[in-house]
Structure 1
Amino acid sequence: MPKAGGGAADEEEFRAEVEERLINEEYKIWKKNTPFLYDLVITHALEWPSLTVQWLPDRTEPPGKDHSVQKMILGTHTSDNEPNYLMLAQVQLPLDDAEADARHYDDDHADIGGFGAASGKHHDGVVEDVAWHLRHEYLFGSVGDDYHLLIWDLRSPAPTKPVQSVVAHQGEVNCLAFNPFNEWVVATGSTDKTVKLFDLRKIDTSLHTFDCHKEEVFQVGWSPKNETVLASCCLGRRLMVWDLSRIDQEQTPEDAEDGPPELMFIHGGHTSKISDFSWNPCEDWVVASVAEDNILQIWQMAENIYHDEDDLPISDEPAKTS
């Protein structure tokens, strides 16, 4: 308890200690349950925190090995104490028929190497994000502090003016992502703690709102392998994975307590704010995420979460732990 007469500083310190204990307790519970929630978890402590992570579309299978080798780009955030630089990380991921799985919890299985040094006005506020359309090279979208989603077309007679504009949220819009499969669908995330879907053919009204985040949403990203799967993260420590195909599915009262049917999975492995995440373009359901405490995690949710039980192979073997 804070000392009597200690003032606001002691009270704040006490609250910080309580929050830290709570976070540590949540992490212990999460780690204990990883064999049931994940097929893969790799954790690596970086020398510096990274504000970005991006898988490269490069994958090799060394002969005679039970793993594939993939690469990703990370960027340091040294707070000006040291020069910032890009890092090329090489990661070994187990093959589908390999025995290791988190059922496969690995506290450090990534080789990190550094290289090099890195270093239209129609929004009424700061532009927070810009994204090119993935199927039409002449289209891109932008979002900003003015609550708007704007769509631009470089073929337009006046390409410096947006061809579509909508007040997308009730707060600043931080991010957007076009669906890689459906050319009409775009997702946005906002300081109003929601993720929204829009159809470019009828942009005035959102298709759906995801509202389970407890803090402002700053990133959204579509799965490169599954058309209806979307991930989002907020200023908290949670990354949520959504499945649009489950919207409006019937739920039991017990399931409804955990969230709406479209909320497929919550990744709770980070103890600090998540800075960025990236879907693996080569391995289905594999995600990399980085947090402010220098932690890089590579994870894959358990197969029984994204597949119906009827589709799963029958096995008498218990889950392996390592």
Structure 2
Amino acid sequence: YKIWKKNTPFLYDLVMTHALEWPSLTAQWLPDVTRPEGKDFSLHRLVLGTHTSDEQNHLVTASVRLPDDDAQFDASHYDICGKIEIEIKINHEGKVNRARYMPQNPCIITTKTPSSDILVFDSTKHPSKPDPSGECNPDLRLRGHQKEGYGLSWNLNLSGHLLSASDDHTICLWDISAVPKEGKVVDVKTIFTGHTAVVDVSWHLLRESLFGSVADDQKLMIWDTRSNNTSKPSHSVDTHTAEVNCLSFSPYSEFILATGSADKTVTLWDLRNLKLKLHSFESHKDEIFQVQWSPHNETILASSVICSVSEDNIMQVWQMTENIYNDEDPEGSMDPEGQGS
């Protein structure tokens, strides 16, 4: 780590580090960006969560100053002023397994807890400092699961539609927009079954009724909410040789998605023919827990791997060749754009 940190000026335009009080199992950039008048930086915000040692946990929003692209960069200035600042801390029931904001209203943030409940918070209705009593007061409590989990996904095209994956082998769907104003408990709208312990779930980014799920059973399943059969997916495919931990639909192509697995590979798929994998990335050294597409470049895919304590943590960024979408070359070829530790 010390060698990498010493060489960061030669590797990156900007690297900022900040030690959090407690580890966070989740992180997501909020979409709003503030540009103060007369300043050469922009104010960005993050959603975080704590994982404490039996102390009070919190859902957290934080802000960070990032220099504008055309600003003259002063590294020493940002080393002092560019630290993350905690804006809001909301009492939470146990560690925050995952937190995700609703695309149509980023003030609405939902969280996965160590229990079976899903909590929904409106950050505008909570004070910046948490209640000293430690009492957790979510604006909504979603019920339907029997165990905890990690998968959580808001529908980009249907406001209020939320999917959750759980170790209880189910995927739950809620519509919080249909909830009466009174009462905080929301019962599940639909339960989908077909997997063993479900690890991750994700709505399709372009089709409002489609979503995908992956699980310990090594399968990728594609579901259509218009179907009356909630125990049989539209498609089911054996994807990896070990548990599948994550999936991500391409924001640019309605057919392309990626999966990441405990077998140390990231695999690219085409919904038009799930019998054949487009490509498999095999350069990771340990289990893959997250894979994500670049929102700015159609062909860039990033994946992150969490290793054991004795191993390095590695993130790899891949630049795909254009013919990955060409039917004449279904296998596709890819070259790594770079990797950092």
TM-score range, shorter chain: 0.5 to 0.7
Residue 191 of structure 1, CA deviation: 0.6
2:319 to 243, 246, 259: 243
Determine whether 1:84 maps to 2:57: yes
Determine whether 1:95 maps to 2:68: yes
How many residues are paired up?
A: 229
Q: Tell me what 1:19 maps to.
A: none
Q: Tell me what 1:176 maps to.
A: 247
TM-score by length of 2: 0.63
Amino acid aligned to 1:183: E
- Once residues 103 and 168 of structure 1 are traced to their aligned partners in structure 2, the CA distance between those partners, rounded to angstroms, is 47
Q: Tell me what 2:213 maps to.
A: 142
Q: Secondary structure at the match of 1:29?
A: helix
Determine whether 1:30 maps to 2:103: no
In proportion to residue count, which structure has more helix? Answer: 1
**Any conservation in 2 of the 1:39–1:102 contact (CA below 8 Å)?**
no
Determine whether 1:216 maps to 2:287: yes
Determine whether 1:62 maps to 2:62: no
Q: Tell me what 1:121 maps to.
A: 193
Structure-2 change in CA distance of 1:163 and 1:102 (3 Å): farther
Q: Tell me what 2:235 maps to.
A: 164
Amino acid aligned to 1:213: H
Q: Tell me what 1:49 maps to.
A: 23
Higher alpha-carbon deviation: 105-114 or 160-169: 105-114
- Once residues 184 and 173 of structure 1 are traced to their aligned partners in structure 2, the CA distance between those partners, rounded to angstroms, is 19
Structure 1 residues 224-253: Cα deviation after superposition (integer angstroms, max 9, x where no partner): 1111111111122111111112789xxxxx
- Once residues 47 and 194 of structure 2 are traced to their aligned partners in structure 1, the CA distance between those partners, rounded to angstroms, is 32
TM superposition outliers: structure 1 runs of 4+ over 4 Å: 101-105
Residue 103 of structure 1, CA deviation: 9.9
1:230 to 301, 319, 330: 301
Determine whether 1:40 maps to 2:14: yes
**Any conservation in 2 of the 1:34–1:103 contact (CA below 8 Å)?**
no
Q: Which runs of 5+ in 1 are unaligned?
A: 1-26, 249-259, 269-322
Q: Which runs of 5+ in 2 are unaligned?
A: 94-191, 308-312, 325-332
Q: Secondary structure at the match of 2:2?
A: helix
Residue 39 of structure 1, CA deviation: 0.6
Residue 265 of structure 1, CA deviation: 2.1
- Once residues 66 and 231 of structure 2 are traced to their aligned partners in structure 1, the CA distance between those partners, rounded to angstroms, is 45
Residue 104 of structure 1, CA deviation: 8.7
Which structure carries more relative contact order (alpha carbon 8 Å, separation 6+)? 1
Amino acid aligned to 2:339: I
**Any conservation in 1 of the 2:320–2:334 contact (CA below 8 Å)?**
no
Structure 1 residues 245-292: Cα deviation after superposition (integer angstroms, max 9, x where no partner): 2789xxxxxxxxxxx962222221xxxxxxxxxxxxxxxxxxxxxxxx
RMSD: 2.1
Q: Secondary structure at the match of 1:112?
A: strand
Structure 1 residues 279-310: Cα deviation after superposition (integer angstroms, max 9, x where no partner): xxxxxxxxxxxxxxxxxxxxxxxxxxxxxxxx
1:205 to 252, 273, 276: 276
